[in-house]
Amino acid sequence: MKPILIIVAGGSASGKSTVVNEIINKLKSVHVTTIRHDDYYCDLSDMPLEERKKVNYDHPDSLDNDLLYEHLKLLLNNQPILKPTYDFINHNRAKEVEKIEPKKVIILEGILTLVDKRIRDLADIKIFVELDDDLRFIRRLQRDINERGRTVDNVIEQYLKTVKPMFHTYVKPQKKYCDIIIPNDKSHDVAVDVIVCKIKDILQNSTVNN
């Protein structure tokens, strides 16, 4: 049976991971694997750390979508992959890779997951999670300081220089490709229930047809 691919897009710190976790929890017995688009940031090992810090990581060119596309095709053909991992502190791809086995449901999550037509055309369900800009900034500030070793000044500078303009140029326009838009400043139980029902329906139909 061909796996189902769900793609979740949305602004930085909009609550994409929360929505993904709710979907996984409600699917219960269904086998799910998740892939973070962040892990496919390009390898910048030939660039000094200070230069890597200046890279615009909110632009589609910062991501290795060629590799992601090939990996998704393998998973959808029920073949395992060796997924790269990303080190946010060193602003570079880590040496470690992670073996990902194909499962019934694959969820790809990231801010720019629907920009590349090749990738979005693989999806069975496309979701956009949105949240008020001020709340996203506050969440990003807290996360980057607590989890990614950034300073307040660094987070603010990056937000004003790249995160905010790239959101309006590349991230927000992805909404037009989506099947479901989830406002994450409210309870989204109904949206998640609809998504889970659709996933189960696709799985059931695939089983019957096979």
Q: Break the chain into its structural domains and give their ranges.
A: 4-193
At 135, list the tokens.
């709340």
Structure letter (DSSP) for residue 135: H
pLDDT tens for residues 112-159?
A: 999 999 999 999 999 999 988 888 899 889 988 998 888 899 889 888
Q: Which residue has the tokens 């900034």?
A: 137
d(CA 78, CA 43): 26
pLDDT tens for residues 172-204?
A: 999 999 999 998 766 678 889 999 999 999 988
pTM for the structure as a whole: 0.90
pLDDT tens for residues 48-92?
A: 999 998 999 999 999 999 999 999 999 999 999 999 999 988 999
At 200, list the tokens.
């189960």
At 18, list the tokens.
């929360």
Q: Are 132 and 185 in contact (CB under 8 A)?
A: yes
Q: What is the pLDDT of residue 84?
A: 97
Q: Are 108 and 8 in contact (CB under 8 A)?
A: yes
Give exposure, 15-36, as e/b (b: 16+ Cβ within 10 Å): bbeebbebbbebbeebebbbbb
What CATH topology corresponds to 4-193? Rossmann fold (3.40.50)
Q: What is the mean pLDDT of the segment spanning 91-97?
A: 94
Beta bridge partners of 107: 6, 34
